[in-house]
Amino acid sequence: MQVPAPFTYERAGSVDEALSLLGRYGPEARLVAGGHSLIPMMKLRLARPEALIDINGLAELDYIRVDGDHLAIGALTRHASVLDSPVLREHYRIFAEAERVIADPLVRNRGTVGGSLCQADPSEDLSAVFAALRGEVVVRSASGTRRVALREFHVGPYETAVGDGEILVEVRVPIRTSVGSAYEKVERRAGDWSIAAVGAFVVLDGDVISDVGIGITAVGAEHFTCQAAEELLLGSSVQDALVETAAATCAAACNPSVDQRGPEDYKRHLVSVLASRALHRSISAARGEVA
């Protein structure tokens, strides 16, 4: 039987209460929402927090809404809600396309957006989605709130910019028009982590790519993206050869590790194929063609 090491369980009824509990228990306390990453790690004793602060009761952080020219997603929003959200679907298909291949329906009923980002698994899908869309996170502490660009959020594997005594409360994504987006993932079996996955959005001004974002996960891409490929595409008119060059740039720039999911050359090949597909489908969607 796998059992976590002993800890003290606390339940927070508000963000303020969660912050005060974090203050009381100090750096060895962890917030828990869905728990579908943290609790398995605790069972394996890879994580041994002294206190778990349950934030499942913070209904104030469970929302998806339009906030001016941004989409705002509360940290406690479950994966299932992201998958089913008409608002997100209207603006960015990348959300539903990514969510459909994150874990399985039961896990998606529990797992949260904030928890996924803060777990900061190097193969996590939403990190690539929000990196592609140039999202930012809102982090609260007792002394106020600050915003961190998603591309500066990950400090390393399983490490984020969220410090002691802080809580991620919201993720924000700019709303764009004439935009298409897509997510492409290859996994060994249904519900598994990615071998590689690439997400993209493209904004077209006529035939010119006036804005573009690429997100890459599971293959050691710096900041879950490839800026060189984005720069190559930005301001150019749509050409197949250019998309292929950008995809090859993604493949060359990432840094896949060799593991049971495959060798390096295979993973690079995947990145190039998936980047090409994600970009082509984003372009088609931006043109209003049915993907």
Partner 1 sequence: MMKVQIEVNGKETSAEVDDRLLLVHYLRNTLGLTGTHWGCDTSNCGACAVWLDGIPVKSCTTLAAMADGASVRTVEGLEGDALDPVQQGFIEEHGLQCGFCTPGMMMTARALLDQVPDPDEATIREAISGNLCRCTGYENIVRAIRWAARHEAAAREQQSAHEPQGAAL
Q: Does residue number 110 form part of the binding site for partner 1 (CB under 8 A)?
A: yes
Report the distance separating Cα 50 and Cα 4, nearest Å: 11
Minimum CB separation of residue 4 from partner 1 in Å reads: 5
How many residues are present in the chain?
A: 291
* C-alpha to C-alpha distance for 173 and 91, rounded to whole angstroms: 10
> Per rule CB under 8 A, is residue 105 in the interface with partner 1?
yes
Stretch that binds partner 1, among 49-57, 140-148, 203-211, 278-286 (CB under 8 A): 49-57
> Total number of residues binding partner 1 (CB under 8 A)?
28
Nearer Cβ to partner 1, position 40 or 263? 40
Helices 264-286 + 240-253 axis angle, to 10:
140
Nearer to partner 1, 56 or 245 (CB): 56
- 103 binds partner 1, rule: CB under 8 A: yes
Token pair in block for residue 206 = 């006529």
Segment lying near partner 1 (by CB under 8 A), choices 2-10, 59-67, 115-123, 275-283: 2-10
Q: What is the 3-state secondary structure (H, E, C) of 188-229?
A: CCCCCCEEEEEEEEEEEECCEEEEEEEEEECCCCHHHECHHH
Q: Is residue 260 close enough to count as binding partner 1 by CB under 8 A?
A: no
From candidates 14, 15, 17, 56, binder to partner 1 by CB under 8 A: 56
Residue keyed to tokens 């912050």:
19
Tell me which of 26, 40, 157, 163 binds partner 1, using CB under 8 A: 40
Rounded Cα–Cα distance for residues 271 and 275 (Å): 6
Whether the Cβ atoms of residue 215 and residue 181 lie closer than 8 Å to each other: no
Q: Which residues bind partner 1 (CB under 8 A)?
A: 1-9, 11, 32, 35-36, 39-40, 43, 52, 54, 56, 103-107, 109-110, 190-191
